[in-house]
Amino acid sequence: MPQLLLFIFLFSLSIKLCFALYYYLRLALYRVPSYKDRGKTDSGGISLIVCYHNEESNVIASLKSLTNQSYKNLELVLVDDMSTDNTKDLLREHRSTQSVLIENDTAHNGKKQALTKGIISATKDWLLLTDADCLAPNEWATTMASYTTDHDIVLGYAPLHKSKTIVGKFARFETYYTALQYLSFSLAGQPYMGVGRNLMYHRSIFEKSDGFTSHTDIASGDDDLLVNYAANASNTTICIDPNAFVYSPGKETFTSFIRQKTRHVSSSHRYRWIDKVLLGLSSITHIGLYISAIILLFSQHSYWVIALMIYWLLMIIIQYPICKKLHSMDLWLLYPVYDFALALYYVIMIPFTFIKKQNSWS
């Protein structure tokens, strides 16, 4: 039994090191290009699309953030999706002259129908997406547009606000870790997802993918599945310029966090097979690393502790420049703690990977 545990531990450790050195190190070494190296910021116009569903507490702040964008040729497409509170009235009252208000009153699964209506109504070729509870800096649209030269998809970063609660802190780390993966994979020429809180793509991507028709039976996937099906090494790039970071609040209770993550993982079974294999291998070995380590604490072997310490040290070194670039230094020194907590999170989420449908917005 100890030999089997040691094998699981060392195998898991080796796989995690391979991911760190082959994928994450790329993001650690990545340098944000200067504006002069990006190309023109005038992408021919942008339609900024936001869907609102019972967001009366966020509408005014959201519209202020969107209408203050420095990008000149910007069209705001605001979609009210069957709100039952005062969202629709607030959108009508506070929208600007540069915005178009679309009202969706047809019952549907998730927000894909509302988003589709927004995209169809948009007049610009470039589509920039975010959520109703997100706040973007003034240079967001301009910065994202500067990455569109020779690319059809721009993957942005959408961190969570810092939190004082344990759940909120972990939610912020989980968001960081998700970005660590999809940004690193994209740099390796294997883009597999993006987040709808900060995502930009050309209209042709939506049209070639036939919209969301291949996955209308699940609520999630309006962002990650579209990217998963359409993105490749040549048409996709990343944007981690701080001027393009879009912040949003995280869940503060365990129940709300798990509910949100359940909806998100319900689309992962639709990923391309190679992405499912790689992400599954990363998650399984993450669990195997720490479960075997916990059990080995009660064995007579001790040299595995040295191997784990070396792994943590290497990860801390690699994560330092990444945390710095992503303005997440509050997560850096506690990375081993969060990394262990992530293994427990994966264990909790295992049953939810078999849930195929989640129909709620969040």
233-256 pLDDT, tens digit per residue, is 999 999 999 999 999 999 999 999
The string of DSSP codes covering 212-248 is TGGGTTSS--TTHHHHHHH--TTTEEE---GGG--BB
78 and 146 within one domain: yes
Give a yes or no: residue 167 inside a domain: yes
283-323 per-position pLDDT tens digit: 999 999 999 999 998 877 778 999 999 999 999 999 999 99
Phi–psi pair at 179, nearest 5 degrees = -65, -40
Where are the extended beta strands (E) located within the chain? Answer: 46-52, 74-81, 99-104, 126-131, 153-155, 199-202, 236-238
User: 7 with 47, same domain?
Assistant: no
Answer whether 0.85 is exceeded by the pTM.
yes
Q: Is there a contact between 87 and 52 (Cβ–Cβ < 8 Å)?
A: yes
Which of the listed residues 194, 220, 252 is the one where a domain comes to its end? Answer: 252
In a domain, 113, yes or no: yes
Give the residue-averaged pLDDT of 19-28: 98
Give the model's confidence band at 43: pLDDT under 50 very low, under 70 low, under 90 confident, else very high. low
Using CA atoms, how far residue 351 sits from 218, 258, 288, 343, 358, in Å, is 17, 12, 17, 14, 14
Question: Per the domain annotation, does 261 fall within a domain?
Answer: no
pLDDT digits (tens, 9 = 90+) for 64-103: 999 999 998 999 999 999 999 999 999 998 887 788 999 8
Position 223 scores a pLDDT of: 83
Q: Say whether both 234 and 287 belong to one domain.
A: no
- Tokens representing 38 are 């990006």
Task: Return d(Cα 260, Cα 361) in angstroms, integer.
Answer: 9
Residue 266 resides in a domain: no
pLDDT, tens only, 119-145: 999 999 999 999 999 999 999 999 999
Query: Which pLDDT score, from 0 to 100, does residue 38 have?
Result: 64
Decide if 262 is inside a domain: no
Do 36 and 17 lie in one domain? The reply is no
Q: Which amino acid is at 150?
A: D
Answer whether residue 265 is part of any domain.
no
Clarify whether residues 282 and 215 are in a common domain: no
Show Cβ contacts of residue 187 under 8 Å, excluding neighbours closer than 6 positions: 23, 26, 27, 30, 238
Total count of domains within the chain: 2
Q: What does the pLDDT read at residue 39?
A: 59
Domain end, chosen from 203, 219, 252, is at 252
Q: Is 257 among the domain residues?
A: no
Per the structure block, which two tokens stand in for 68?
């203050």
Do residues 68 and 128 share a domain?
Answer: yes
Question: Taking residues 318-339, what's their average pLDDT?
Answer: 97
CB-CB contact of 219 with 110 (8 Å): yes
Give the domain-ending residue among 252, 287, 304: 252
- Residue 58 above 80 pLDDT? yes
- Same domain for 139 and 229, yes or no, is yes
Is residue 203 pLDDT above 60, yes or no? yes
Shared-domain flag, residues 19 and 80: no
State the chain's mean pLDDT as an integer: 90
CA distance 26 to 21: 8
| Same-domain check for residues 18 and 51 | no
E strand map for 227-341? 236-238
| Residue 36's pLDDT band (cuts 50, 70, 90) | low
Do residue 122 and residue 58 come from a single domain?
yes
Do 49 and 159 sit in the same domain of this protein?
A: yes
- Write out the residue range of the structural domain in which residue 39 sits: 32-252
Report if residue 357 sits inside a domain: no
87 and 12, same structural domain?
no
